[in-house]
Structure 1
Amino acid sequence: MSTCTTRKPLLAVTVPQPLARSVELGTAPVVNLSVAPPPEALGGYVAVCAGEYDEGIAHWMDVHGGIRPFAPEDIHTGTVLAVARVAAVSQWPDVPRESRWYVGPVGLWLADVIRLPELVPVEPGPVAQCWELPEDVRAAVRAGYKAARDAAKALWDDFSARSAKALEREPAPTLKDKLLRLCSCRRAMTPCPSCKAFRCLNPDCGPHACHQEAHP
């Protein structure tokens, strides 16, 4: 049995508000850096840390980003908001795909953004470059990330179990099933024009008898 406990690298990146909120919600797929991250960043993870509110970024989001930014009183700063996987690292002008959020010169293209169930306070590092989290903050971020992943998995497992159970049920009767009466021989029965009782036309089931057919 394998006892490997290797973990993917977890770096941190400071994103000014209100842009950090858009990254947390998955609206902004890329974080712009001024310097390239270490090579191990690609395929690893980054903790998205909310920096100070930047009115210039808020104005750009409102005018060019197509998103009405959150007000300063509605968002947090100095906290880790989410953890995301680094799907690609690009340098201008080479980019994996077009995005209005990418201005370069370096871009961290994010995927699988997971919002932490509880915000983790942190003293934000330098903006536009990757940095290392303090060990206690890193442990809290990893714990929050694991809790969020476990909760999502439990929700998905419950949904899968309910779906499988629903597929095991007998199909609901159709209108034809509700209106069509079957004999014990599995043939359709028809109403008798005299007594209106349902009768089977299969001769092996025996003749139908009603009061009008009876004789003294």
Structure 2
Amino acid sequence: MSTCTTRKPLLAVTVPQPYAYSVAVRASPVVNLDAVPPGALGAYVAICAGAYDESLTGWMYDCGVWAQCPEDVPTGVVLAVGRVVGVAVGRDVPRESRWYRGTAGLWLDGVVCLPELVPVELGPMGRCSELPEDVRVAVRAGYASVQAEDKARREEYAARAARAMARAPAPTLKDKLLKLCACRMALTPCPLCKAVRCPNPSCPPHTCHQEARP
């Protein structure tokens, strides 16, 4: 299980809805900021859902995503946690993205939604801030539980695959229809009595009932 949130900085970024929801569900890999804080690369970011901004819906539609309705997205809570794998300042970007608005931004990877939303007092929009200690503890616990569930799921899938590979292969149609002798040669029908016999000379000879007629 990853212990990233105890080893790396855990920053908080207030992102307006419905943009925050798009980041949480990995529709958008970028969080746009006014400025990138020092040491952001490699840190973890808690996505805090800010107030609903109706002006973002057209931009999100241009990015290929339908914006959620105001009643469908929460605000004032921590939605998800992601890891910063790239930072952008101006035109210096790690890779192109239509979600980047050109000032500054964080490229995220491995974003996971928290199993329970954590209420939080929102910080300034578009800037990184620190979480209160009680909120940080709850976010870390939620992230750790998701990571533990993912690890258990991967281990279960690996165990199932190992069991499937260890099983004897299912018999083919040929295996079901073909009769074999103890010597593993295929039995063939006798042209006279139609009984099956083994053509291997090392096996006991076939006694044809037709040939035994008086």
SS at match of 1:103: coil
| Structure 1 residue corresponding to 2:181, chosen from 180, 183, 194 | 183
Q: TM-score, normalized by length of structure 2?
A: 0.94
Q: 1:58-207 to 2 correspondence within 5 Å?
A: 58-62=57-61, 64-207=62-205
CA–CA separation in structure 2 for the residues paired with 1:16 and 1:171: 55
SS at match of 1:108: strand
Letter of the 1:139 counterpart: V
CA–CA separation in structure 2 for the residues paired with 1:196 and 1:53: 84
Give unmatched runs, 5+ long, in structure 1. none
Aligned length: 210
Give per-residue Cα distances to partners, 1:108-166, cap 9 Å, x unaligned: 00001111111111111111110000000000000000000000110110000010011
Evaluate the alpha carbon distance shift between residue 76 and residue 6 of structure 1 in structure 2; reply closer, same or farther with a 3 A threshold.
closer
CA–CA separation in structure 1 for the residues paired with 2:12 and 2:6: 19
Q: 1:28-39 to 2 correspondence within 5 Å?
A: 28-37=28-37, 39=38
CA–CA separation in structure 1 for the residues paired with 2:7 and 2:184: 64
Q: Which residue of 1 aligns with 2:8?
A: 8
CA–CA separation in structure 2 for the residues paired with 1:88 and 1:34: 16
CA–CA separation in structure 1 for the residues paired with 2:132 and 2:47: 14
Q: Which residue of 2 aligns with 1:209?
A: 207
Answer whether contact 1:189 1:201 (CA < 8 A) is retained.
yes
Answer whether contact 2:49 2:79 (CA < 8 A) is retained.
yes
Identical-residue share of aligned pairs (%): 63
CA–CA separation in structure 2 for the residues paired with 1:65 and 1:213: 86
Evaluate the alpha carbon distance shift between residue 6 and residue 76 of structure 1 in structure 2; reply closer, same or farther with a 3 A threshold.
closer
Deviation, structure 1 residue 51:
0.5
Give per-residue Cα distances to partners, 1:157-197, cap 9 Å, x unaligned: 00000100110000111222222221111111111223322
CA–CA separation in structure 1 for the residues paired with 2:6 and 2:108: 22
Alpha-carbon RMSD: 1.4
Give unmatched runs, 5+ long, in structure 2. none
Deviation, structure 1 residue 6:
5.9
Deviation, structure 1 residue 23:
0.2
Q: Which residue of 2 aligns with 1:52?
A: 51
CA–CA separation in structure 2 for the residues paired with 1:210 and 1:193: 10
Q: TM-score, normalized by length of structure 1?
A: 0.93
Q: Which residue of 1 aligns with 2:26?
A: 26
Deviation, structure 1 residue 50:
0.5
Deviation, structure 1 residue 7:
1.4
Q: Which residue of 2 aligns with 1:17?
A: 17
Answer whether contact 2:35 2:89 (CA < 8 A) is retained.
no
Give per-residue Cα distances to partners, 1:32-51, cap 9 Å, x unaligned: 111221x2221010000000
